[in-house]
């Protein structure tokens, strides 16, 4: 099935960010940063919670970028980094170091259309990923391509 590429509207990107922040509060997670990117890897929405460290925006963006760059969630990219480190080194090089191979980057789609990706960071990678998945679904979108 071919996937067409349209961008997520800003209002929906912001809904995803707000859903992620609400989930983090409900789950008592550490301060998070959430980045939502369009299909071309450009930032639509980015928020860093009070207390989140200064590198969190770059990490959240890198997780979302990794998902977009490879068309898979960033947990799978993390597995690739372990199994095929030379491939990840090459991908890092050609992407200008933008790929962060850690769980927490999730593709966002609707009706077979890739709309973008969300990256979450600040807690454990498992919690970051759970938060991203929850936020995408809470906003009414599908996780994955």
* Residue 84 confidence (pLDDT) above 70: yes
Three-state SS for 7?
A: coil
Mean per-residue pLDDT of the chain = 94
What pLDDT does 4 receive?
Answer: 47
Domain positions in the chain are 10-143
85-135 pLDDT, tens digit each: 898 899 889 999 999 999 999 999 999 999 999 999 999 999 999 999 999
* Beta carbons within 8 Å of 60's beta carbon, 6+ residues apart: 32, 33, 34, 35, 46, 104, 119, 120, 121, 122
Q: How confident is the model at residue 3 (pLDDT cuts 50, 70, 90)?
A: very low
What pLDDT does 94 receive?
Answer: 93
| CATH class of the domain comprising 10-143 | alpha beta
Report pTM. Answer: 0.93
For the chain, what's the residue count?
145
Q: Can you tell me the distance from the alpha carbon of 6 to that of 114, in angstroms, rounded to the nearest whole number?
A: 7
């Amino acid at each position: 099935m071919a996937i067409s590429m349209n961008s997520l509207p800003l209002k929906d990107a912001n809904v995803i960010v707000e859903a992620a922040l609400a989930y983090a509060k409900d789950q008592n997670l550490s301060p998070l940063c959430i980045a939502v990117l369009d299909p071309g890897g450009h930032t639509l929405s980015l928020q860093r919670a009070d207390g989140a460290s200064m590198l969190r925006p770059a990490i959240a963006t890198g997780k979302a970028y990794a998902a977009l760059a490879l068309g898979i969630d960033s947990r799978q990219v993390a597995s690739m980094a372990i199994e095929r480190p030379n491939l990840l080194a090459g991908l890092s090089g050609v992407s200008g170091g933008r790929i962060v191979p850690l769980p927490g980057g999730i593709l966002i789609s609707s009706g077979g259309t890739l709309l973008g990706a969300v990256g979450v960071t600040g807690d454990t990678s498992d919690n970051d990923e759970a938060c991203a998945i929850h936020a995408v679904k809470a906003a009414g979108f599908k996780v994955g391509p």
